[in-house]
């Protein structure tokens, strides 16, 4: 059992945890001291200790014969937001056969209003059951800490018998684990095979990542496009970085293909606001490597779609300000940029951002 447990713990860290954290796969660093692991594969799933169900149907019985996915997230967690559209997609695909539960148990302050507003703004980005739990409370202690898991997002697959079948990143192995759980074939050996496959994917993805950088540097667009597609497939948590790269490379090769790709995101990533906003920002940023005429209409449409499943933010307002200014709407540029400046958090950590945003606002005001 010890060997299997050791292999299982690699589900969230098939590469070193620090590397994944730096790459954006997870948020939250490991604690200074790791408590003993008491929740292992094959163990009965702990109770769901929920303060309030925020969306969907409350899940109270983990031994009713249904497969469940219990995923830990927080409103401040960027990687969690990247994974949410995938959870929604899987929830829709599996329907009543699998219950997906997103548990916010990692807020920095115990304020349920933060989670309530986030869920309300998220719309179809979170098309599954969602709950709030006390930060660092029973859910964290009895699930995350007990299983030796330190980073979020983190998904637990609970099989038909109410036992833990797999633990890992929701974008790396969850679908495979759920499929096996539905067939009642998800045991420790099968879980280890899933982890082994994703370890290989991660290693190959890192190689493709390095080769992509070299191809871009050498101006080998066709090769770069192929490598970028591999990175998107093998390192799915990096989609917010490499969907914009795909669009940028396509503008250098085939502007019509770039437009098709961008418009395709409106359907394929309709509930993935971070992806939509990343591509829109790349289009309007004059310092990006986009070739040819900037498609401001597409950028605006991408932002507008993103706001159907996320709250208005500093970033979305500033992108809309850039679009307005570039298309001759100077009053609109000032208005959006003023809103962007208002939304920048207080504190020294944001001084550089605030200074740049205020400078841009002054430029828009001077141009009126």
> What integer pLDDT is reported at residue 341 of this predicted model?
98
Phi, psi of 130 (to 5 degrees): -135, 140
Res. 10 pLDDT band, cuts 50 70 90: very low
Q: Write the CB contacts of 133 (distance below 8 Å, at least 6 apart in sequence).
A: 49, 50, 51, 103, 104, 105, 139, 140
Residues 172 and 247 reside in one and the same domain: no
Q: What percent of the chain has pLDDT over 70?
A: 92
Residues 153 and 282 reside in one and the same domain: no
Average pLDDT over residues 114-120: 98
Average pLDDT over residues 346-358: 95
228 found inside a domain: no
Residues 183 and 253 reside in one and the same domain: no
Is the pLDDT at 206 greater than 90? The verdict is yes
216 found inside a domain: no
Residues 181 and 257 reside in one and the same domain: no
Residues 351 and 264 reside in one and the same domain: yes
Can you give the chain as a three-state secondary structure string? CHHHHHHHHHHHCCCCHHHHHHHCCCECCCCCCCCCCCCCCCCECCCCCCCEEEECCCCCCCCCCCEEEEEEECCCCHHHHHHHHHHHHHHHHHHHHEEEEEEECCCCCCCHHHHHHHHHHHHHHHCCEEEECCCCCHHHHHHHHCCCCCCECEEEEECCCCEEEEEECCCCCHHHHHHHHHCCCCCHHHHHHHHHHHHHHHHHHHHHHHHHHHHHHCCCHHHHHHHHHHHHHHCHHHHHHHHHHHHHHHHHHCHHHHHHHHHHHHHHCCCCHHHHHHHHHHHHCCCCCCCCCCCHHHHHHHHHHHCCCCCCCHHHHHHHHHHHHHCCCHHHHHHHHHHHHHCCCCCHHHHHHHHHHHHHHHHHHHHC
Average pLDDT over residues 159-170: 98
Residues 45 and 165 reside in one and the same domain: yes
Strand partners, 152: 27
Range of the domain at 330: 238-367
Q: Which CATH number does the domain housing residue 334 bear?
A: 1.25.40.10
> What integer pLDDT is reported at residue 35 of this predicted model?
79
Task: Look at residues 158, 188, 218 and tell me which one is the last residue of a structural domain.
Answer: 188
Is the pLDDT at 15 greater than 50? The verdict is no
Average pLDDT over residues 75-97: 97
Residues 29 and 153 reside in one and the same domain: yes
Average pLDDT over residues 58-79: 96
Residues 13 and 159 reside in one and the same domain: yes
Average pLDDT over residues 247-253: 98
Task: Look at residues 188, 220, 250 and tell me which one is the last residue of a structural domain.
Answer: 188
> What integer pLDDT is reported at residue 105 of this predicted model?
97
Higher pLDDT, residue 150 or 16: 150
Residues 262 and 129 reside in one and the same domain: no
- Per the structure, the count of domains in the chain is 2
Q: What is the pLDDT of residues 268-314, one digit of tens each?
A: 999 999 999 999 999 999 999 999 999 999 999 999 999 999 999 99
Nearest 5°: the CA angle 74, 316, 300 is: 130
> What integer pLDDT is reported at residue 146 of this predicted model?
97
Q: For residue 295, give the nearest of 316, 323, 319 by alpha carbon.
A: 323
C-alpha atoms less than 13 angstroms from C-alpha of 358 in its C-beta half-sphere: 8
Average pLDDT over residues 87-98: 98
For the CA atoms of the chain, what is the radius of gyration?
Answer: 22
> What integer pLDDT is reported at residue 24 of this predicted model?
60
Q: Which CATH number does the domain housing residue 152 bear?
A: 3.40.30.10
208 found inside a domain: no
200 found inside a domain: no
231 found inside a domain: no
Residues 137 and 252 reside in one and the same domain: no
Res. 27 pLDDT band, cuts 50 70 90: confident
Residues 13 and 72 reside in one and the same domain: yes
212 found inside a domain: no
Average pLDDT over residues 129-142: 97
Is the pLDDT at 5 greater than 50? The verdict is no
334 found inside a domain: yes
Residues 150 and 286 reside in one and the same domain: no
Among 6-20, 25-39, 194-208, the range scoring the smallest mean pLDDT is 6-20
Is the pLDDT at 157 greater than 70? The verdict is yes
Is the pLDDT at 225 greater than 50? The verdict is yes
Q: What is the pLDDT of residues 306-340, one digit of tens each?
A: 999 999 999 999 999 999 999 999 999 999 999 99
Dihedral angle of Cα 204, 207, 212, 215, to the nearest 10 degrees: -130
> What integer pLDDT is reported at residue 30 of this predicted model?
57
Average pLDDT over residues 14-34: 55
Average pLDDT over residues 53-64: 96
> What integer pLDDT is reported at residue 134 of this predicted model?
97
141 found inside a domain: yes
């Amino acid at each position: 059992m010890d060997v299997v447990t050791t292999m299982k713990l690699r589900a969230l860290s098939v590469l070193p945890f620090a590397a994944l954290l730096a790459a954006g796969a997870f948020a939250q660093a490991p604690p200074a001291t790791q408590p003993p692991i008491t929740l292992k594969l094959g163990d009965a799933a702990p109770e769901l200790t929920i303060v309030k169900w925020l969306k969907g149907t409350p899940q109270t019985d983990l031994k009713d014969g249904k497969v469940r996915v219990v995923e830990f997230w927080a409103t401040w967690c960027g990687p969690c937001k990247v994974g949410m559209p995938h959870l929604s997609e899987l929830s829709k695909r599996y329907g009543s056969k699998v219950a997906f539960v997103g548990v916010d148990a990692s807020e920095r302050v115990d304020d349920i209003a933060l989670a309530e507003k986030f869920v309300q703004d998220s719309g179809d980005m979170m098309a599954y059951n969602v709950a709030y739990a006390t930060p660092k409370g029973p859910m964290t202690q009895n699930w995350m800490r007990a299983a030796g898991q330190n980073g979020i997002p983190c998904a637990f697959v609970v099989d038909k018998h109410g036992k833990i079948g797999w633990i890992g990143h929701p974008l790396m192995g969850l679908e495979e684990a759920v499929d096996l759980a539905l067939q009642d074939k998800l045991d420790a050996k099968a879980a280890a095979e899933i982890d082994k496959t994703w370890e290989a994917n991660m290693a190959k993805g890192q190689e493709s990542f390095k080769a992509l950088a070299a191809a871009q540097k050498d101006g080998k667009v066709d090769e770069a496009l192929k490598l970028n597609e591999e990175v998107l497939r093998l390192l799915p948590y990096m989609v917010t970085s490499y969907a914009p790269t795909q669009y940028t490379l396509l503008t250098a090769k085939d502007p019509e293909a770039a437009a098709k790709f961008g418009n395709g995101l409106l359907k394929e990533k309709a509930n993935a606001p971070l992806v939509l906003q990343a591509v829109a920002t790349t289009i309007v940023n004059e310092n990006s490597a986009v070739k040819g005429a900037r498609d401001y209409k597409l950028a605006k449409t991408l932002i507008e779609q993103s706001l159907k499943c996320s709250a208005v933010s500093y970033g979305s307002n500033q992108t809309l300000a850039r679009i307005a200014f570039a298309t001759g709407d100077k009053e609109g540029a000032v208005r959006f940029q003023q809103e962007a400046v208002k939304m920048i958090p207080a504190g020294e950590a944001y001084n550089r951002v605030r200074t740049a945003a205020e400078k841009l606002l002054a430029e828009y005001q001077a141009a009126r």
